[in-house]
Amino acid sequence: MITIKKYPNRRLYDTSQSQYVNLDYIKHLIDERKDFTVIDSKSEDDITKTILLQIISESEANENQSLLTNTLLKQLIRYYDTDMEVFVRQYLEQSLVHFIEQQDQMQGVMKNMMDNNPFNVFNKMMEQNITMWSDKPKKK
């Protein structure tokens, strides 16, 4: 688990790397599926959610990157402070986990198809033949 400390000057410090980092670095950790937590340096409070929301907020400001529509955000806000809040949170989390698993499986299938297409098989055969011919002892 990587621990990142946030200092009062708003700087983020990765304790595992002993270096200051930025939000892009944290986004990279997320993309790499690395587990981390962000701790306030003074209070020692876990502020990971605040940092994650900041990343989302910055991404949502760019209309080309936006995932959350106004309609979706309004729907989510309506569920706060209701009896359904816990169920909606669990549903959204499980749905997204399932979606990511399906996406990973699909990427694996596509990679397998690309690795096994006739042109790649032919290229591998040619490489093996060239290696075999070049390794063969020459007759005098």
Domain map of the chain by residue range? Answer: 1-67, 68-135
The structure's pTM equals: 0.69
| C-alpha to C-alpha distance for 37 and 58, rounded to whole angstroms | 19
| pLDDT tens column, 76-131 | 999 999 999 999 999 999 999 999 999 989 888 887 777 777 777 677 778 888 88
Angle at 124 between CA 119 and CA 127, to 5 degrees: 125
| C-alpha to C-alpha distance for 74 and 56, rounded to whole angstroms | 16
Contact 30, 38 (CB under 8 A): no
* 47 closest CA partner among 5, 2, 89: 5
| pLDDT tens column, 11-41 | 999 999 999 999 999 999 999 999 999 999 9
